[in-house]
């Protein structure tokens, strides 16, 4: 099982390390045609506007929409969550517009307000270690979105079908269980196609 990490910006290597701890093969994705080699995709953190521009420049917008349309799982962390959202608070246009959520950018404040904590994630037994860096929040969810984690009454992890998002950076800790959760999603999607 191969899981790609969109390698335009962000903690690509750290995501690959976590994927491999979860028992899958990690592959940095730099070209659209590489998407055919993977069964799941992670869109890492970074700066969502920059990621969106680079995705447009290199033809990833339609390619990733097609990837999702095939039922292949996608996991967006921090800026990756913003990139996947159908709506961005404040009326900004979305990028991929795949997941039925409204996201507020930098909802936890600036870089100096970054923090770590343990979070309960629905479907994972023990609390998960989370690193928040200029993190977004989910303001609203559509009817088919399953909220997996709430922190201080705010939604920070959610799933809709083959799409998974987190406000935080699970790849910046030794805790790879959210990557394991995603790898299990990929495995289930493969089993469903057989």
Please report, for residues 2, 25, 63, 148, 172, the alpha-carbon distance to residue 28 in angstroms, rounded to integers and kept in the order given: 10, 10, 16, 27, 17
Is 117 a catalytic site residue? no
- Among the options 78, 95, 160, 179, which is catalytic? 78
Backbone angles phi, psi at 189, to 5 degrees: -70, -35
* Cα 49 from Cα 187, distance rounded (Å): 31
- Per the residue annotation, which of 15, 95, 169, 179 is the catalytic one? 169
Closest CA to 188 of 11, 55, 24, 63: 24
Q: Do 156 and 169 meet the contact criterion of CB atoms below 8 Å apart?
A: no
- In this structure, the dihedral spanned by the alpha carbons of residues 70, 40, 88 and 13, taken in order and rounded to 10 degrees, is -160
| Annotation says 95 is catalytic | no
Determine which one of 15, 95, 171, 179 is catalytic: 171
Catalytic residues: 78, 169, 171
């Amino acid at each position: 099982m191969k899981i790609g990490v969109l390698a335009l910006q962000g903690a690509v290597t750290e995501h690959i390390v976590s994927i491999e701890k979860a028992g899958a093969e990690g592959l940095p994705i730099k070209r659209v045609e590489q998407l055919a080699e993977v069964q799941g995709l992670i869109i890492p953190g970074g700066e969502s506007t920059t990621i969106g521009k680079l995705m447009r420049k290199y033809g990833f917008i339609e390619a990733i929409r097609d990837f999702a349309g095939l039922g292949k799982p996608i996991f967006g962390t921090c800026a990756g969550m913003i990139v996947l959202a159908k709506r961005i608070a404040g009326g900004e246009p979305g990028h991929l517009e795949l997941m039925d959520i409204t996201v507020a950018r930098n909802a936890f404040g600036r870089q100096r307000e970054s923090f770590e904590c343990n979070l309960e994630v629905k479907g994972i037994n023990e609390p998960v270690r989370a690193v928040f860096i200029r993190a977004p929040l989910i303001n609203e969810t559509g009817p088919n979105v399953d909220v997996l984690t709430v922190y201080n009454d705010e939604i920070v992890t959610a799933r809709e079908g083959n799409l998974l998002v987190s406000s935080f950076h699970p790849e910046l800790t030794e805790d790879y269980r959210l990557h394991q959760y995603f790898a299990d999603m990929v495995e289930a999607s493969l089993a469903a196609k057989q």
